[in-house]
Amino acid sequence: MSSIPHDPRAANALLDRYGYKKGPDGYRRQPNGDALILRYYSTPTERDRQFDELFKRGLDAIGIRLEIVKDRFPEMLKLEKQCRTMVRHAAWIADWPDGDNFMQLLYGPNTYESNNACYKSPEYDKRYAKSRTLPAGPERDRLYHEMTRIMETDTVWFLTDSRIRNTLQQPHVVGFTKHPVLHAEWLYLDLDPKPQY
């Protein structure tokens, strides 16, 4: 669960306090007077158009101008690997079912590889390096919780939604159990040659 509440009133107060004042057009400016613009990368799909609208509505509520850059997913991924994107909506389904699969995504030395946020934090990296020496258990979990709080405080990622998938199974399918993260159940499926209807 995120420790960052959805609170537009507090966000507006903080932006005012730190000098990001609204101009005559209703959008905020940086303390030096330059326009405050958040550049958001998005694919040209109907799904992402809906995310674009939701994101814009949220930023309008706090007076931050949103510039949406549309491109194909492979092109955006190339830009991310070069640390050339500002903000993007992304999902991660995990390559292996362990917390390390997510924590390695923010490890500084993984920049230009799997750390697409290009995040570098000595405190996070120190804890991540220690977590790699530990087996799964309470001590490693404690480090993961600490890394999560560091990431939230630095607002590297902002967790926004969880996708829901429905699965329809025919009676003659054998061995189906939905994994909570992975999407490769087909490896374990078989068909009953004499289904019991």
pLDDT tens profile 116-159: 999 999 999 999 999 999 999 999 999 999 999 999 999 898 77
Neighbouring residues of 197: CB distance < 8 A, sequence distance ≥ 6:
171
Per-residue pLDDT for 97 more than 80?
no
pLDDT in tens, 8-20: 999 999 999 999 9
pLDDT band at 171 (very low <50, low <70, confident <90, very high): confident
Per-residue pLDDT for 7 more than 70?
yes
156 vs 184 pLDDT, higher one: 156
At 55 the three-state DSSP class reads: helix
Per-residue pLDDT for 82 more than 80?
yes
pLDDT value at residue 140: 97
Query: Which residue in 81, 96, 10, 94 sits closest to 41, CA to CA?
Result: 81
pLDDT value at residue 42: 94
Please list, residue by residue across 5-18, b when 16 or more beta carbons sit within 10 angstroms of its beta carbon and e when fewer do.
Answer: eeeeeebbeebeee
> Please, where are the H alpha helices in the chain?
8-17, 46-60, 73-81, 100-103, 122-131, 138-154
Per-residue pLDDT for 1 more than 70?
no
Per-chain mean pLDDT for the chain: 90
71 vs 195 pLDDT, higher one: 71
Comparing 46-60, 138-152, 162-176, the range with the smallest average pLDDT is 162-176
* CATH code of domain 7-90: 3.10.105.10
pLDDT value at residue 197: 63
